[in-house]
Amino acid sequence: MKKFLTAIVQLLQPHVPLSAEEIERTLELPPDPQMGDYGFPCFSLARHWKKAPAQIAAELAQRLQPTPLIPTIRPLGPYLNFFLHRPTVIQEVLEEISAQGAAYGQSKEGEGKTVIVEFSSPNIAKPFGVGHLRSTVIGHALHHIYQALGYQTIRINHLGDWGTQFGKLIVAYKTWGKEEVLQANPIRVLYDLYVRFHEEAEQNPALEDEARTWFKRLEDGDPEARRIWQWFNELSLKEFQRIYDRLGISFDYYTGESFYNTMLEDLVRRIQEAGLARYSEGALIVDLTPYNMPPLLLKKRDEATLYATRDLAAAEYRYRTFHFDKMLYVVGADQKLHFQQFFKVLELMGYDWVKRCVHVDFGLVKFNDEKMGTRRGNIIFLEEVLDKAVALAQSIIEEKNPHLEKKREVAEQVGIGAVIFADLSSRRTKDVQFQWERVLNFD
């Protein structure tokens, strides 16, 4: 980009009282590429010339002459935006890639620094949905990018392996489950049990109490509850592992929510001692009204800890253990508020490093216009998507290149590559409508 930056600096320099370095340092990337490729904010000039920044941007736009490299210059509010000549950019980038090969884009900017990328994080006993696929694919790409920049990266899978849903699952399994049936097709069957629990609980609310009791037993270390929970974990992880192997993705740690259980009591006590917590309707909360947010729940009325409590403990533990320079949470945009809340609590606890934590959010995967929830029946299992993609790739090979060697292997690579590509090629923060035609579009 150096060449283009220099071209912009040369355009601006005769018209502003700034050095080349100052101009280059001032240039920004607009939040949306539709606005331009580079933006020059006019605020500092406004002070200098005692004129409104927007007026300066408009006047500069009049004065600057477009060039072949920078064919369009447009003011937008207080910014003067520059559009690069796309075909030239593309040509330059491709030439650079072909000259540098695998070394393209690598640097040492991250030397000696550590980045934690938390991603994928599916829930035990629930299907690995296409929403988790987005986190997995984006997180994996970020891991590669940070590695290429010289950072040490730590990949963490924050498995959803704790919470009241395990009380429900234990009740459902004990009431309607059969060991052989579950062994044969664990996640499908666990998922059906979970759906059934919610259906039956609507008629019979006593089931909810039973589930609460079982979760409490699990939290208290009851051997039977632990054994069933452990078994659900092993069965689920085996299935997740199969998916990760097919996607070619791995992790450094599979430390799920339950990993932090032993740290919660001490954490909650410290938050209370710091005067940050209070009881409200029997639950222990951190009041966040001064920050225009609903309260963060530390403990429910029945003393059970929550998702947010475990996230606070996880953040502390990871900082203590890894002294990260950055920590990325690759999680759907529907959890934005959750991250804002617990980042705020970390800040209130006095942790300066919360500034290094980022929620890398992404749009939801919508299916028939409804968010894919696991409580209802409408969910697409990721493995079905992968299998279907591979089958389609295979039929294309049969049609176009039937004598290809290692057909099965190629079909697996192409099919899965297509699924990953469909995901990465859509804008991260936008919602995506799940469409087979799009995912399996080999054009």
Q: Which residues bind ligand ARG (CB under 6 A)?
A: 118, 121, 123, 158, 160, 311, 329, 331
Shortest distance, CB of residue 211 to ligand ARG, whole angstroms? 19
Shortest distance, CB of residue 319 to ligand ARG, whole angstroms? 14
Question: Which is nearer to ligand ARG, 311 or 423 (by Cβ)?
Answer: 311
Question: Which is nearer to ligand ARG, 60 or 142 (by Cβ)?
Answer: 142
Question: Which is nearer to ligand ARG, 81 or 341 (by Cβ)?
Answer: 341
Instruction: Give the C-alpha distances (Å, rounded to integers) separating 124 from 164, 184, 232, 238, 260.
Output: 12, 17, 7, 11, 16
Say if residues 240 and 122 touch (Cβ distance below 8 Å): yes
Helix locations, 50-85, DSSP H: 53-63
**DSSP per position, 146-203:** HHHTT-EEEEE---B--STHHHHHHHHHHHH--HHHHHHSHHHHHHHHHHHHHHHHHH
Shortest distance, CB of residue 351 to ligand ARG, whole angstroms? 16
Nearest-CB residue for ligand ARG:
160
Question: Which is nearer to ligand ARG, 49 or 381 (by Cβ)?
Answer: 381
Shortest distance, CB of residue 190 to ligand ARG, whole angstroms? 15
Shortest distance, CB of residue 290 to ligand ARG, whole angstroms? 24
Q: Residue 134: CB partners within 8 Å, gap ≥ 6?
A: 332, 362, 365, 423, 432
Residues 424 and 141: their CA atoms lie apart, in Å, by 9
Say if residues 117 and 153 touch (Cβ distance below 8 Å): yes
Say if residues 78 and 51 touch (Cβ distance below 8 Å): no
Question: Which is nearer to ligand ARG, 313 or 439 (by Cβ)?
Answer: 313
Distance of CA 354 to the CA centre of its chain: 17
Question: Which is nearer to ligand ARG, 75 or 160 (by Cβ)?
Answer: 160
Question: Which is nearer to ligand ARG, 123 or 305 (by Cβ)?
Answer: 123
Question: Which is nearer to ligand ARG, 74 or 356 (by Cβ)?
Answer: 356
Nearest to 219, CA basis, from 297, 286, 282, 309: 309
Residues 298 and 392: their CA atoms lie apart, in Å, by 48
Shortest distance, CB of residue 418 to ligand ARG, whole angstroms? 24
Shortest distance, CB of residue 156 to ligand ARG, whole angstroms? 9
Residues 124 and 236: their CA atoms lie apart, in Å, by 6
Shortest distance, CB of residue 331 to ligand ARG, whole angstroms? 4
What pairing do the DSSP bridges indicate for beta strands 432-433 and 365-367?
parallel
Q: Is 400 exposed, middle or buried (0-12, 13-18, 19+ CB in 10 A)?
A: exposed
Grouping H, G, I as helix, E, B as strand and the rest as coil, residue 2 is helix
Residues 284 and 282: their CA atoms lie apart, in Å, by 7
Question: Which is nearer to ligand ARG, 259 or 329 (by Cβ)?
Answer: 329
Question: Which is nearer to ligand ARG, 78 or 129 (by Cβ)?
Answer: 129
For the sheet with 152-156, list strands across it. 152-156, 114-118, 326-332, 357-362
Question: Which is nearer to ligand ARG, 40 or 339 (by Cβ)?
Answer: 339
Shortest distance, CB of residue 336 to ligand ARG, whole angstroms? 12
Nearest to 401, CA basis, from 390, 393, 412: 393
Tokens of 284: 């222990």
Shortest distance, CB of residue 167 to ligand ARG, whole angstroms? 17
Shortest distance, CB of residue 122 to ligand ARG, whole angstroms? 6
